[in-house]
Amino acid sequence: MEKNTLFDKIWDAHVVKSVPAGPDVFFIDKHFIHEVTSPVAFLNLEKRGIGVKYPHRTIATPDHNVPTVDQDQTIKDKLSRMQVEKLRENCAKYGIELHDLGSAHHGIVHVIGPELGITQPGMTIVCGDSHTSTHGAFGAIAFGIGTSEVEMVLATQCIMQSKAKKMRISVEGTLGKGVTSKDIILYIISKISAAGATGYFVEYAGSAIQSLSMEARMTICNMSIEMGARGGLIAPDETTFAYLKGKQYAPKGADWEKSVAYWKTLKTDDGAIFDKELVFEAADIEPMITYGTNPGMGIKVSGTIPSTQGMEGSNKTSYLKSLDYMGFAPGEAVKGKLVDYVFVGSCTNGRIEDIRAVAEFVKGHQKAENITAWIVPGSREVEKMAHEEGLVKILEDAGFELRQPGCSACLAMNDDKIPAGKYAVSTSNRNFEGRQGPGARTMLASPLTVAAVAITGRITDPREVFGK
């Protein structure tokens, strides 16, 4: 019998047709849209005189540009307001389900999909956003697309893409204390580089991955794109089923039993061949932080910034340009450096577990004087739980400012910008130049490390604070 990977099984089941010497016509089960990458797609549909083929397969929410204060009021920024209004208009016109600002399930698109149980094993999921890979945590093929492809999905429910190569990354063993799934993914990217998985779809496996909660798995799959991968996925298991059971859009009753029986078949066959296999040991992973301007530029918090030894030409020039932007020098330690902002949020680490971890860490303590601390829940549901569990009180007592749900300072399309030259330690996914505001200097880390930085005001290993 043919041995297939999990990726093969889902991909092959969604190919409507393979174009000779060309891509596959690939069917999409669920399509998420937001206000920034959809308006031109809708506009082009109008120009072509066609509509949305299967509106029930698309779900919308405004998240990228929305303000994180006064969401009950009209959006002040004119262009952002126009994009959000356009999304409302398009959803109403074509009958697309919209989770609007202020509604019970508003939030970052990659947070609400799983939360509502829309994201399920075996599905194909796309969105005009590269962090769509998040949904791969459920054993789905999920990836980001461009606006032309958003238009294709709206018009036909298909896109045309060639099947990616397959890579398996296994992480074996037990994670140390204070080491989180964010550290796992930052560690992997630092080992293989920001382009190390380009052309591949990654399956994460191994005992350390299997031991993770759904939320922690989402953090890992979310950042697959940061090593260039088309997407990443994890085989569904009892943890996945337990998370989905009872969710609003999850199958119910007999359908549930039937679905679980199918989902249990969604795993890589023993002996299936990957184009590339990598294995890492969980015990080698420590709390991680980035020091440069792409997510591959990461080191352990206690480490030093690599020297330029062995670099030459544009490789060395690009490296030094990056360190210059960050205000760092080769060979320096990062621990102890002063920080100005901390940001907890985004589709990477804006879920309730992340907020719980930060709250537990800072409980009874005060943020450092030099720190401005923002905490932005990934969704209204997360915000609600944070209130109900008393986390908001703990965080506000510690000096954190709680804002309303949205992408916020992860990409600074709204007013949540880090000022030029300032250092922000963020739970988000990208440390690109200007990502969190023009001139802003971003260092990516786990929620625990960010909590430790908030308390000490400096780059800190979370294991060295309060004996935690």
Partner 1 sequence: MAYDKFTILKSTAVPLPTENVDTDQIIPARFLKATEREGFGDNLFRDWRYDVEGNPKKDFVLNNPTYSGKILVAGKNFGSGSSREHAVWALYDYGFRCVVSSFFADIFKNNCLNIGVLPVTISAAFAETLFAAIAANPNTELEVNLLQQTITLLATGASESFDINEYKKDNMQHGFDDIDYLINMSAEIEGFEASR
Contact flag: residue 79 with partner 1 (CB under 8 A): yes
What CA–CA distance (Å, rounded) separates 117 from 28? 17
Pairing label, strands 441-444, 372-375: unpaired
Pairing label, strands 401-402, 423-426: unpaired
Kindly state the smallest distance separating residue 405's Cβ from partner 1, in Å.
Answer: 18
Using CB under 8 A, pick the residue from 9, 30, 31, 430 that binds partner 1: 430
Kindly state the smallest distance separating residue 237's Cβ from partner 1, in Å.
Answer: 24
Residues 393-412 that bind partner 1 (CB under 8 A): 411-412
Residue that is written with structure tokens 């260092």 in the block: 443
Q: Please check whether residue 426 is in contact with residue 163, taking contact to mean a CB–CB distance below 8 angstroms.
A: no
Contact flag: residue 27 with partner 1 (CB under 8 A): yes
Kindly state the smallest distance separating residue 68's Cβ from partner 1, in Å.
Answer: 15
Kindly state the smallest distance separating residue 331's Cβ from partner 1, in Å.
Answer: 21
Residues 160-179 that bind partner 1 (CB under 8 A): 160-162, 164
For residue 414, what are its two tokens?
Answer: 């709204």
Contact flag: residue 442 with partner 1 (CB under 8 A): no
Cα dihedral 142, 143, 149, 154 sign: positive
Using CB under 8 A, pick the residue from 59, 66, 118, 159 that binds partner 1: 159
- The smaller minimum CB distance to partner 1, of residues 149 and 461, is found at 149
Kindly state the smallest distance separating residue 73's Cβ from partner 1, in Å.
Answer: 19
Residues 286-305 that bind partner 1 (CB under 8 A): 293-294, 296
Residues 186-205 that bind partner 1 (CB under 8 A): 194-195, 198-199
Residues 234-263 that bind partner 1 (CB under 8 A): none
- The smaller minimum CB distance to partner 1, of residues 15 and 333, is found at 15
DSSP 8-state code for residue 53: S
Kindly state the smallest distance separating residue 80's Cβ from partner 1, in Å.
Answer: 6
Instruction: Give the distance, in angstroms, between the CA of residue 462 and the centroid of all CA atoms in the same chain.
Output: 22
Interaction mask 34-73, partner 1, x per CB under 8 A: --xx-xx--xx--xx-x--xx---------xx--------
Question: At 301, phi and psi to the nearest 5?
Answer: -55, -35
Residue type, 155: A
Number of residues forming the site for partner 1 (CB under 8 A): 78
Residues 361-400 that bind partner 1 (CB under 8 A): none
Burial tier of 86 (Cβ tally within 10 Å: 0-12, 13-18, 19+): middle
Residues 6+ apart with CB under 8 A from 449: 287, 288, 289, 301, 425, 460, 461, 462
Radius of gyration of the chain (CA): 21
Contact flag: residue 92 with partner 1 (CB under 8 A): no
Residues 98-137 that bind partner 1 (CB under 8 A): 128-130
Q: Please check whether residue 277 is in contact with residue 167, taking contact to mean a CB–CB distance below 8 angstroms.
A: yes
